[in-house]
């Protein structure tokens, strides 16, 4: 059965092509960053806020645009039966340190599904908002991915395997419409989430993060906002 690739292609083709080679070099001494909250912050407020992000198109292009609303500046992702992701390559030590990831997001429209929402579904594998932390390895069987979801009806805290691979763990952080139009902030201890999802500590370092809104399986529409993606190390 043919399976439409989603973020798995980023890992197998993009990461194992360019990111893996890049991350196989020794991790730079990150000691100065250990006491700092942030290593890399994307506020999407400069003149070309998406210039450091690369896009991987799977089926049609999701429209990623930077919008400004008074003092706010954020990325709006609009999928019309399409799927493409933005990813950023970054090398963070996850074996000896505690990397963190925080961001803000909001969902304006969920993809319309004919069946009850499920983490393991294949033919309706669409979500309004996804954020990924990718742990590349030299061999494809050793890569790992944490995939954070904003679902429409799944219970918050649900963890499951992607139908593409058991090496991709899905974690539901938000579910349903937000109570207001404000952004919801997430603050994640990546190592703690990894241990909870995989049962062991990370064996590889982080090589990339990504975010995506997709609706290609249901051929419907999805609309989400992303802001203040911040990568760092937990203070000791």
- In this structure, is residue 2 part of a structural domain? no
Query: 166: number of CA atoms within 13 Å, CB side?
Result: 3
**CA 9 to each of CA 16, 94, 167, 193, 207: distance values in angstroms, whole numbers, following the listed order:** 10, 22, 13, 23, 15
3-state secondary structure of 103: strand
pTM of the complete model? 0.85
How many domains, the chain?
1
Q: Which structural domain, as residue segments, surrounds residue 48? A: 7-233
CA angle 144–119–92, rounded 5-degree value? 25
Give percent of the chain with pLDDT exceeding 70.
Answer: 84
Give how far the C-alpha of residue 159 lies from the chain's centroid of Cα atoms, to the nearest Å: 15
**What's the mean pLDDT when you consider all of the chain?**
86
- In this structure, is residue 123 part of a structural domain? yes
Pairing status of strand 168-175 against strand 144-151: parallel
- In this structure, is residue 158 part of a structural domain? yes
Mean pLDDT of 66-89: 94
Q: Report the pLDDT value the prediction gives residue 141, as an integer from 0 to 100.
A: 84
Residue 9 has pLDDT above 90, yes or no: no
Q: In sequence order, what are the residues at sequence separation of 6 or more whose Cβ sits closer than 8 angstroms to the Cβ of residue 71?
A: none
* Per-residue pLDDT tens over the stretch 93-147: 999 999 999 999 999 999 999 999 999 888 899 999 999 999 999 888 889 999 9
Q: In sequence order, what are the residues at sequence separation of 6 or more whose Cβ sits closer than 8 angstroms to the Cβ of residue 235?
A: 34, 35, 36, 37
In whole angstroms, give the CA distance from residue 15 to residue 206.
Answer: 11
Tokens read off for 57: 């198109």
- In this structure, is residue 185 part of a structural domain? yes
Q: In sequence order, what are the residues at sequence separation of 6 or more whose Cβ sits closer than 8 angstroms to the Cβ of residue 72?
A: 227
CATH of the domain at 169: 2.60.120.260
Residue 209 has pLDDT above 60, yes or no: yes
- In this structure, is residue 1 part of a structural domain? no
Task: Report the phi/psi class of residue 70: left, alpha or beta, with left for phi > 0 and alpha for psi in -120 to 50.
Answer: left
């Amino acid at each position: 059965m043919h399976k439409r690739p989603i973020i798995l292609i980023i890992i197998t083709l993009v990461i194992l092509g360019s990111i893996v080679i890049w991350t196989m070099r020794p991790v730079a001494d990150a000691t100065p960053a250990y006491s700092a909250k942030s290593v890399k912050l994307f506020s999407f407020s400069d003149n070309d806020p998406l210039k450091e992000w690369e896009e991987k198109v799977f089926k049609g292009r999701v429209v990623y645009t930077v919008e400004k609303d008074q003092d706010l500046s954020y990325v709006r992702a609009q999928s019309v039966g399409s799927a493409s992701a933005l990813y950023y390559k970054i090398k963070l030590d996850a074996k000896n340190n505690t990397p963190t990831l925080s961001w803000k997001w909001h969902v304006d429209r969920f993809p319309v599904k004919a069946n009850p929402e499920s983490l393991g579904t294949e033919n309706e594998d669409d979500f309004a908002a996804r954020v990924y932390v990718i742990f590349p390895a030299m061999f494809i069987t050793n890569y790992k991915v944490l995939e954070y979801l904003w679902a429409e009806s799944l219970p918050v805290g649900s963890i499951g395997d992607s139908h593409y691979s058991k090496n991709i763990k899905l974690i539901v952080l938000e579910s349903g419409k937000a109570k207001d139009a404000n952004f919801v902030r997430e603050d994640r201890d990546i190592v703690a989430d990894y241990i909870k999802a995989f049962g062991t500590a990370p064996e590889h370092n982080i090589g990339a993060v990504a975010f995506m809104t997709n609706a290609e399986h249901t051929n419907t529409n999805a609309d989400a906002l992303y802001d203040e993606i911040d990568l760092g190390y937990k203070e000791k």
